[in-house]
């Protein structure tokens, strides 16, 4: 019996664990699910005879090493910061790592070591990053085989409440790690626009939006997602003139979040004393300049941020509870942690409601040396969650990961070292199976008529 | 013979190594100096019979572990990021670590482990952090012994060109790791102002300045330095109403650096392709919004930042070379690295010139239950470098470290675990010896007449 160790049983792990357990008898697997909160892990395993839940503290190195040494594959669903730690242990024990987080510098640095030991560190295997790369890679390979040259590549990902259901004033729901929502854009972003590299710092990312039409949903807003340029090499897009990866939200999110960034709330370093006993209003006051004339806090905040004290942004900040006299009760010590707990509480997916996951690729392609017209290709994947069941986020993050684990344990991924799923041996079977499960892309092509 | 391992032979390490070698025969020491650049290490050791220079790559773990295992004390002069790595090896080998960097979360987390093994991790042992804490602690202990209560604590540190000599338009010279100058304020800052906690994000730190009178120098500007509040506990200042640690510059530095932060140049994450082959002007263009009307880059930058295109800030940015058509030749991949190399080249300490190190504490104290008047105590230390000799920075960083090494090897520091030099067994002998070497504080006290 092969041993699968899943670390992290948070929001987006439910469906992954469900799928692994579903296949466990046929494939002769046993699935161990570790989480810092044992109850969360148990909820995912549901007493399945082929699974067990364990309490798992990633910082307990001896327990971590033992668990990894006893497994055949490690699946990382923990926060990005812990990925490197697991990778080191995986290399040490000769066990492959499958992860939904980004391939960061730590993983890149460990790549050669992993390769020497024949260990695969396969990251970016969820939705975004994950399905987005796989589907893009499949499109690009097809275009290339037809002699096409990609000139414009825009790829958008998103997880939001379903468009046709009421949600909350921010029109956003937390279906994945709220920490990542709070720290979104923290390293700034980089993209290519008509041949020009553009770099945007954290305090500008959410001011830097543009509209995107999503078929069947309507107009959304996009902000630039991290380093788009690093994918030029990944995808082999040498001739591209515009290369953007973006995140989609319903209009209004970014103008509000830009103010939260301007205030400085996404800060994971400065420790606020007695945070749990302070009110939100008290904490927000810390981020405002002192003013001895002491007008009302909302007025002062609006003046400091230069937003209207009576406008919609202000209304959303108020609705979030930033001026509330309630104590934060925060489990951590930083404003970022307080915000993560706040949005988790204020922006839940309500009972009976669905979330929607969107991936959208817009490519412009020409065919040099032929008389084929340049084309614009739009490829869209929209996946809805099940009311009171698995979220679209959990399905789209979990399914490719579960498929990758199966491929790996069957010996069908002939790779080692640091990899992301841009190799056909990984993305072809995964995309096929996603389609069978209803996670499919709709593609339209139209000629570009140049003015 | 006791073995001292000094890691890092950069700008501020010269005097430290000089002092250790000076005492090496009397104390029966041998000093090994490791640097990634062997020539730099050799320059510090200067063929001294009690010293040797080695090439040292901190990422070569087996070499690192061997060197540490063979030493009696490890002195860390490397960049802050490597401190934790060394601490882990020190605990493993049972060797004490002496370091000039901040006690970061990694060191705090390793503290209990170090304590169990009887290993001392003594950090913050340079100038700032270092002499500033030691002198503050000595002041506070004296005040406390007289029944005083500290109500206001402002502590400033600085390393700048000598006030009476011409320097450059920014009136700043690089006498320590330029990376730390570029990333200054990156985590924001926190302080206490009249009982109110204030938190300032990175993009506001350099806008958030105030004037400070320095005896013998004149008016300087201060910006808040990291988390001032964390030192309330360190110093036992429970009743303090205002608690600020600040960094001093000559007026004009901060308004210029604020624009560099606003542009987003202090970014260590986004990798810029072919950075060494690009001109500074090209790189700056990446940080500006696209404008197809294409006026001249300086005009566009000024409009974007909302600074005067003909003013002094613009003049300084131009003087720094940000609009130069010269290639960066940058050794690294990020804008932060480019800026570090640029300021290192543009802001050197010129031959024959001196730098000045300033520490200034301003305390307000009352004496509850007595009729002694409240007092304002000003304590100032000004140290000038030697023309063509050691810099004031190198002396003030190196001397306390060298003294701590001697105390430690003589068995006169009865501590283990994570510590900073706020224990009298450390700061008393160090402050005494600093005074003998001319690094002395001048203290004035005046009564506070309350309006």
**Class of residue B177 by CB neighbours under 10 A (exposed 0-12, middle 13-18, buried 19+):** buried
What kind and span of H or E run contains B224? strand B218-224
d(CA B325, CA B343) in angstroms, rounded, equals 17
Contact A203 B198 (CB under 8 A): no
| pLDDT in the model for residue B215 | 94
State whether residue A190 sits within 8 Å of chain B by CB.
Answer: yes
Q: Nearest 5°: CA angle at A53, between A48 and A56?
A: 165
Using 50, 70 and 90 to split pLDDT, how confident is the model at B320?
A: very high
d(CA B338, CA B320) in angstroms, rounded, equals 12
Contact A264 B201 (CB under 8 A): yes
- Per-residue model confidence as pLDDT tens digits over A169-195: 999 999 988 999 999 999 999 999 999
d(CA A193, CA A68) in angstroms, rounded, equals 44
Considering only CA atoms, which of A99, A179, A175 is closest in space to residue A393? A175
| pLDDT in the model for residue A292 | 63
- Per-residue model confidence as pLDDT tens digits over B17-40: 999 999 999 999 999 999 999 999
Contact A410, A342 (CB under 8 A): no
Contact B15, B44 (CB under 8 A): no
Using DSSP, state whether B174 is helix, strand or coil. Answer: coil
List C-alpha distances in Å: B336 to A47, A148, B264, B267, B331.
Answer: 51, 38, 9, 5, 11
Contact B209, B248 (CB under 8 A): no
Q: Which CATH architecture has domain B131-256+351-393+439-447?
A: 2-Layer Sandwich (3.30)
* The pLDDT of residue B96 is above 60: yes
Q: Nearest-CA residue of chain A relative to B261?
A: A201
Q: Which CATH architecture has domain A2-123?
A: 3-Layer(aba) Sandwich (3.40)
CA dihedral of residues B112, B113, B114, B118 (deg, nearest 10): 90
Using DSSP, state whether A398 is helix, strand or coil. Answer: helix
- Residue A298: CB atoms within 10 Å: 17
- Per-residue model confidence as pLDDT tens digits over B221-230: 999 999 999 9
Which of B200, B203, B264 shows the shortest C-beta gap to A199? B264
Q: How far apart are the first and last CA of chain A?
A: 63
Which of B196, B269, B335 shows the shortest C-beta gap to A290? B196
d(CA B108, CA B103) in angstroms, rounded, equals 7
d(CA A325, CA A284) in angstroms, rounded, equals 11
Residue B158, C-beta contacts closer than 8 angstroms, at least 6 positions apart: B128, B220, B247, B248, B249, B356, B357, B358, B359
Contact A227 B287 (CB under 8 A): no
Q: What is the pLDDT along chain A (451 residues), one digit of tens a residue?
A: 999 999 999 878 999 999 999 999 999 999 999 999 999 999 999 999 999 999 999 888 889 999 999 999 999 999 888 999 999 999 999 999 999 999 988 999 999 999 999 999 999 999 989 999 999 999 999 999 999 999 999 999 999 999 999 999 999 999 988 999 999 999 999 999 999 999 999 999 999 999 999 999 999 999 999 999 999 988 999 999 999 999 999 999 999 999 999 999 999 999 999 999 999 999 999 999 887 666 789 999 999 999 999 899 999 999 999 999 999 999 999 999 999 999 999 999 999 999 999 999 999 999 999 999 999 999 999 999 999 999 999 999 999 999 999 999 999 999 999 999 999 999 999 999 999 999 999 999 999 976 5
d(CA A441, CA A182) in angstroms, rounded, equals 29
Eight-state DSSP code of residue B118: T
Which of A189, A196, A290 shows the shortest C-beta gap to B290? A196
Q: Nearest-CA residue of chain A relative to B201?
A: A264
| pLDDT in the model for residue B417 | 96
Measured between beta carbons, the chain A residues lying within 8 angstroms of B287 are 199, 201
Average pLDDT over residues B368-395: 95
Which of A188, A204, A270 shows the shortest C-beta gap to B199? A270
d(CA A33, CA A18) in angstroms, rounded, equals 11
Contact A190 B270 (CB under 8 A): yes
d(CA A384, CA A353) in angstroms, rounded, equals 10
Hey, where are the domains in chain B? 2-123, 131-256+351-393+439-447, 267-343
| pLDDT in the model for residue A61 | 85
Contact B433, B395 (CB under 8 A): no
ipTM of predicted complex: 0.85
């Amino acid at each position: 019996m092969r041993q699968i160790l899943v670390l992290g049983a948070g929001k987006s792990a439910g469906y992954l664990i469900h799928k692994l357990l579903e296949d466990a008898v046929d494939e002769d697997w046993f699935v161990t699910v570790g989480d810092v909160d044992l109850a969360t892990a148990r909820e995912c395993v549901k007493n399945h005879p082929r699974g067990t839940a364990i309490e798992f503290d990633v910082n307990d190195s001896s327990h971590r090493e033992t668990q990894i040494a006893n497994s055949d594959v490690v699946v990382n669903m923990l926060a990005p910061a812990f990925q490197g730690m697991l990778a080191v242990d995986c290399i040490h024990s000769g066990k492959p790592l499958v992860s939904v987080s980004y391939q960061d510098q730590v993983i890149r640095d460990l790549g050669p070591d992993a390769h020497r030991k024949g260990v695969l560190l396969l990251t970016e295997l969820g939705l975004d990053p994950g399905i987005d790369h796989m589907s893009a890679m499949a499109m690009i390979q097809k275009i290339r085989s037809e002699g096409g040259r990609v000139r414009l590549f825009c790829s958008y990902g998103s997880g939001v409440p379903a468009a046709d259901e009421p949600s909350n004033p921010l029109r956003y729901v937390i279906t994945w790690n709220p920490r990542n929502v709070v720290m979104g854009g923290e390293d700034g972003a980089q993209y290519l626009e008509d041949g020009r590299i553009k770099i945007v710092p954290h305090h500008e990312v959410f001011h830097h939006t543009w509209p995107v039409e999503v078929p069947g949903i309507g107009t959304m807003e996009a902000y630039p997602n991290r380093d788009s340029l690093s994918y030029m090499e990944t995808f082999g897009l040498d001739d591209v003139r515009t290369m953007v990866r973006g995140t989609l939200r319903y209009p209004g999110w970014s103008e509000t979040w830009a103010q939260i960034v301007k205030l400085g709330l996404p800060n994971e370093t400065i420790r606020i004393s007695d945070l749990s006993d302070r009110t939100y209003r008290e904490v927000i006051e810390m981020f405002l300049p002192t003013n001895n004339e002491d007008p009302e806090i909302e007025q002062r905040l609006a003046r400091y941020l230069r937003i209207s004290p009576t406008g919609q942004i202000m209304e959303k900040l108020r609705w979030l509870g930033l001026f509330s006299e309630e104590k934060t009760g925060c489990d951590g010590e930083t404003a970022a942690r307080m915000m993560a707990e706040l949005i988790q509480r204020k922006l839940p997916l309500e009972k009976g409601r669905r979330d929607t996951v969107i991936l959208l690729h817009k490519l412009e392609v020409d065919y040099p040396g032929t008389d084929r017209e340049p084309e614009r290709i739009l490829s869209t994947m929209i996946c809805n969650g099940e009311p009171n069941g698995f979220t679209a986020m959990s399905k789209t993050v979990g399914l490719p990961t579960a498929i990758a684990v199966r491929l790996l344990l069957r010996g069908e991924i002939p790779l080692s070292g640091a990899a992301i799923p841009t190799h056909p041996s990984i993305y072809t079977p995964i995309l096929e199976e996603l389609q069978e499960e209803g996670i499919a892309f709709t593609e339209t092509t139209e000629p570009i008529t140049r003015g």
